[in-house]
Structure formats: structure tokens, C-alpha cells
Structure 1
């Protein structure tokens, strides 16, 4: 767990993969180029958001498949696939296929719960079963069982010239151990009990805590996760915050970055909405300033890895500057070493 003088084990970033819905090709190509550049800069991972009915990545598994053929080393993750829109059986087939193609580099992050804006498209998604679908954590368990190679069929044998097996094909050993789950305190405990990896983000649930400090709450949730994990020494925890280094930014970029962070600050002062969610401030500054802030952050102190969340609405040149500074300036100040 990185404190000053201790290395950050892995560094990556999270992208939404924006595109113009009237001409999506260039934006999707830009996402693939970002992943290629990340590998060249020595990042350990790139994580893809999953957005449905929006001009962003709606099929991260397809993007990972393409990226797997243009990279050789970097881990490819999802943060996160909402399983309410997926059939775990079919998703397991797709994830395993891409994991085999990539040589074992896929890190599927998943979530459960009623999908966002579900009432507006539920009949298109589940015409006959939309009111009885189970959006509980059982969907995660179904995915895990399929990825582990447990039987999904009661038949194995040959019919004519076709051979059938009981488990999802292809089977990719080790993929189930790279599944990630995120959420509040109870979800952290559940993820630990299941032995899956734990994703944190720039929003936390205040459920089960008296604290109103984001970093303290995030630290409490990570502690709870490790306390419930059967092998805490090998459990992976990734922290995701909006962090914008300004070392090589122009004056105009710095001004816009600070305005962006200021426009979002009010939501960080108190819990929001019926679920009482608390947002983290966005971090903007030089890498020296950011490193000082992170080493004092209770969540960062307890994480093994970091997946920096790129802002939604910046320009390509902004992302290039931010990603480069993350790899060449901030990462080394956190004790991280790029992979050659």
C-alpha cells in the first residue's frame, strides 16, 4: 500500500471513449490509439467505461478485442460493465474469447442493480421479462461460475458431427481471478467474501459510516474489503480519482482544468441524492503538488493500483497532455516505474 517511499504497484487510466454519433469511426479509432499510446508510455492498464444509449463506449468487450490485436502487454479493463444489461452466460463467452486473444490481459469490472434509465428502454431490452429480471449480485455469481468453467449445461457429448461441452467455450484459466467489483461498504465486504478484486472510484456511499470525509470513507471501505478477503495479501485494490497533472499544460489548459474542477466542487461538500453518495474533489496541480496530496489520502494509502479517471469533456490534446504527464511526471513521484 503506497505511502511516501513505498512504490505504487500499477498505474492506469480510465476513458469514456467519446465519439460523434453522426460519425463514430474517428472517435472509436482515437480510443484505440489512446490504448496503443498508453502501452508505449509504460502504463500497466487502460480501463474502459461502459455507456449505453450515449455517444461513448457501449461495447467495451469489442473495443478490448480490437485493442488486443494492436497491443502486446497492457492490461485491458472495464469500469464497469452493468450486468443488468447483460446475459452472464453470453458475456462469459465474449470475455473469455478476448482474454484468449489478448494472452490473458482482460480485467472485467462489473456492477449490478437496476440499469440507469431502465424504464425508458426496458421493453426493448427484455420484452417479456423486464418486470421480473433479477438485478442482484447473483448476476455476478453467475458470471463467475461461467468464467471458472463450472457446468452451464447438463449435456456433454456428440450429436452428429458436433461436439458439445458442459462449460462455456472457450475457457480461459485465470480470468475469473481478474474480475473486479465496486460499491459501498456492504459491497466491499461482499467482494472480499467472494475473493474478487475491488474497484474504488471518485464517488462513495456514506452508508455505514459517521464520517463525511471522502478519503476516510474510501479508506474504511478498503479496510472492510481486505478484512473479508480470504487472501488479503494477494487481494487487488484499485483507486480511481479524477487527477489532472499540469506540468506540461499550457496556461489555457490550466485555466480550463481549474474551471472544470471548480464547477464540480459543490457536489463534494455533502452527500447527494437518496442514496447519500459523496463525490471526491477533482485534483488539479503539478505532479509534486498532487503527489503530496495523494500520499496523505486515506484511500490512496490503502490501494495497490491506481486507474486515473479522465474527465468526460476535454479535447484530444488535453488527454494527450494529461496521460503523458501521468506517465512521465506524476507516476514516478508516486514511486511507480513504467514498463519498458
Structure 2
């Protein structure tokens, strides 16, 4: 998982009297840890086995329940599903942003982008978000990409909802729930960090709208070249607005990309690495998603599984039919 490292300096010893309080404190923390672990297990959400191929078709009633839970947790603008946006394939001539590296090289707050939003977990007292996803172009105009560890942990998570452009408790482009989820079988069987990518096809309950028609969509690139300027935009787990950072996408290895930028905490897993960002629409080309090595990295460096042949096959499987 995305971890945040802390390196505190040396502290003076507690002294004899302090050890009594230290022991009591450690015992209390241990008991608290048991309670927290139990509470965490109870709110991890329901799981489904899916198919050995890595495909899961979500029953309609399951998605309807997730949408109902979101209706009481976020404000959904009336007419959100009818708001048109230029599709990635229709943008024509574009003016590409130069994307100079952020100074300092650290994520900072940024305005939401319509095609990017948090993935919510709805099987809790109150829905909360712990990952990010983005709309990518497909023939069916209903596709998201995120990290596999966001949607599959010993089973497919079935309490997922997507709120593109989310901010301050508002879902300006509506709430979308999966019709299917696809991960690589290498991720299912061994959490292979070189296959930490997932595609979701989504729908909006009660309408026949297609998410790409509402939000626009990023392009997706397979076998991308490295050493290119890029932007990451994603939602920390405790934030109501996204963070963004610009840096250079580099090759960490034959199967991994790296993106050096501080301040991308938990919740930004699945965020798109965007190149060739259009200055007008803010839409770009996804060359990776935060995940991969160490399931995303640490507070200084983020990673992505390389979008090579295996990810292209996964995309084609997800969009078949």
C-alpha cells in the first residue's frame, strides 16, 4: 500500500518512572490495535470471487444498492447525466500544455477534472473513498481505469461507486457503479505488482447515459515512452478536493514506471499518469496509474505497472462485447 514514512529524531529516555507509563501505554495501544483491526475487517466490504480469468460481472441489484448509499452521502446535481463533454476521440486539434515540473516537487491542491474522481466504498456507516479512477476512451464510452489493488483483495469488491469531478461533498457529474471489473489473473493469484491495473465498465442507475459522453475521457497509451513530462491528479483518502503534481515519468524497470513527487498519500492509488494534456479541456493520455511496485510507492516516489502488451490485452478483454 502507499505508505508514509516518518523519521523522528532521537528523544531522551523515559527514566524509571516513565517505564511504568510506557508499559501501560504500550498495552493500551495493543488493545486498541485489536479493536481497530476488528473494526477494519468489518468495514472492508463484501467480496465476490469472479471468474478465474479475472472478470467479474456485477449483478444489477448490487450496483443499485451502492448508488442508493451514495445518494444519501453526496449531493448530486440535477441533470448531471445530461451534461455534454467532448469525447477524447472527437477533440481534434489540441494545444498541449508543457507540464513543467512542480516547484517544489510536491503535490498541491488543484481544481477537479471532470474525467477523474474518487472510488467510494459504500458498505460502511458513511461511504468513504480510498482510491482514484479516471474515465478512458472506449468504443462503448463506459470505461474507467484504476489500480487492481483498489478493486480486488482476495475477491472483487462489490461496494464500489465512482464520482467523477467530485468536490466538497458534491458529485457534479453523477454517481456511477460497475457493470463489470477486469483484472489480470496474475494479480488474482499472486498480487503480481507488474499487473496492478484494473478496468471497470460503469453505468448510472436510472439512465442510459454513458460516462464518457458526460465527463469526456482521457486517451490511453500502450507501450509508452519514458522520460516525458506528466501530471498526476488524485484524491487523498481524507480530502474533499484533489491534489496534483507535475514531474517526469521514468522507467524504474522493464515492467514499472516511476514518478518522483512528494505528498501523494493513501487514496491517490489508481490516479492517472497523464501526458499530452490539452490546455483547454484538461484531458490527456493515460500512460500509467499509481500502483505497481509496493502498491504505489511511498511519500517521495510513486510507481505504475508498465502499460505493455498484458495491459493492452486486459483493455481489449474489458471492452469486448
TM-score, length-scaled by structure 1 = 0.23
Q: Which has the higher strand share?
A: 2
- The structure, 1 or 2, with the larger RCO (C-alpha pairs under 8 Å, 6+ apart) is 2
Name the structure where helix makes up a greater proportion of residues. 1
